[in-house]
Chains A and B, each alone.
Chain A
């Protein structure tokens, strides 16, 4: 259940700057400040939406949380423990608890791996169970994303599947370790509208069943509203608005949020 008293992920004044490499011909290095002093609490059991346009820093935030990037400044806490600088065993342990679903299922799955290889790989990496137990866990994970009967999919390869099926494999792979926190980075931007809804419904079912916490990154306020309890709007590396999904859409206080709402295509009739 959603528990507003328990912060699972906490960002404290996180900043991140990217530097371009100096080119051979144009000498000067450029700096891009991707995140400026971002602070954020995500509570256990909620689906939290992070909304912004391309280049706003939403993906960087997601990558920082799963520790694919290091912040230049600030602190990252999981269950109250500082994980900003963890390494080695502690980092591996962290990765069991925190997983990511990537944007593009056409690129995030290894084309040489069968579905079984892809979904069982996290179990192998973390030395979970023996081959029989792993098989059951993969079955369970595939079932939870609606790929049934799971055994029919074991030996298929990504190129034999549609985009929606591939993204469901990617979700099954992220969920197989039963993580506590999952970052879903625009999981449907490469998919058709009707399939996107299906993926949203799967995520929300998984959330209810396993009580995982989700950070859902998207550029669509409507998608965030459909799926999320709370939303934060990010613009040029700064959080400009945060609150309940309904509240933000009904009473946007920041001009950028209003621009996002107005840009959303609507039927004229």
Chain B
């Protein structure tokens, strides 16, 4: 049974220029203990989905359509109080930019025990500190660094502390929003393998949000490629990497630099990001697409099933 099912989710922001459709008709499901990667460029709506799952959308955002079923309950129908019972206890988030996610004037251990104490009224402070200690061991920070302040930590250690904080209340789903973007390759690998280990050990489901398709390739079971507010390809990771169908996925994979293949000149083209206030009726990727036909800009693309688990939002994939 799926732990999380997102059905036809649409979210938009009220801006001065009009209503900006940031997420349009996104659907996916995630089983217990599995991981899903959401990949796309900045502004494609991937973080908005994460925030919607956490119930942390800003005031000018509104969900116009869809359902978010978590353990068969619709999160969108819950009151703020009910959401607060679930947030962090069942769904936790690893925020982007770890360097800014910690409070600089409190000791790291206090910040994490605060999360535990806030959600469990019965626990004593000492017991909470004990838990923090075991969490630090779990994510690989030496316990004697617990009482340090965030500025004593390196970037990788801060990211580990943020992961410890996300794990504090034993959630069943973690949303990791660009967990390694600000880190260098060596630390990135350490953090990713730490998350992978914890996922296996604790049977947590994880949603990875990233613009780096390689990060997702390393850690996920399923992958969703997003472009301009829509999911454009979805499938098991081998399927999407072996046989990418959507032209956008193909261009993403081509622009990724590897060490294994020979160096080839990659053609780069930055198209304008489509207007999401008054989107066209046709395919949003049309302007950048190399295989677009005249009809593509006129009618909205439909999902094409390539296999039971692999689908793409493009007419040319048939």
Contacts and interface: CB of A to CB of B under 8 A. Distances in A.
A197 B269 CA distance: 9
Given A194-B41, A194-B255, A261-B259, A267 B266 contact: no
Given A263-B186, A268-B218, A197 B266 contact: yes
Among A54, A201, A260, A261: residue with most chain B CB under 10 A: A54
A54 B258 CA distance: 21
Interface string A190-227: 00111101101100000000000000000111110110
A221 B268 contact: no
B217 A268 contact: yes
B259 A266 contact: yes
A98 to B, nearest CB: 26
Given A219-B184, A260-B186, A267 B214 contact: yes
Contacts of A246: 263
B257 A223 contact: yes
B62 interface: no
Nearest to B155: A54
Interface string A147-180: 0000000000000001110000000000000000
A249 interface: yes
B214 A266 contact: yes
A264 interface: yes
A259 interface: yes
B311 interface: no
A194 B259 contact: no
Given A194-B251, A219-B185, A265-B212, 8 more contacts: A53-B187, A54-B183, A193-B213, A198-B268, A222-B259, A225-B263, A266-B218, A267-B214
A54 B215 contact: no
Interface residues of B, number: 38
B310 to A, nearest CB: 14
Interface of B: 41-42, 154-155, 183-189, 192, 211-215, 217-218, 237-238, 241-242, 251-252, 255-260, 263, 265-266, 268-270, 273
16 contacts: A53-B184, A54-B187, A193-B212, A193-B255, A194-B270, A197-B266, A200-B268, A201-B266, A220-B185, A220-B257, A225-B257, A225-B259, A225-B263, A249-B259, A264-B185, A266-B217
A259 B185 CA distance: 10
A193 B259 contact: no
Nearest to B214: A265
Nearest to B242: A269
Contacts of A220: 185, 257
A259 B187 CA distance: 11
B187 to A, nearest CB: 7
Nearest to A146: B270
Contacts of B237: 269
B263 A226 contact: yes
Nearest to B39: A193
Given A192-B41, A193-B212, A193-B213, A263 B188 contact: yes
B172 to A, nearest CB: 26
B257 A222 contact: yes
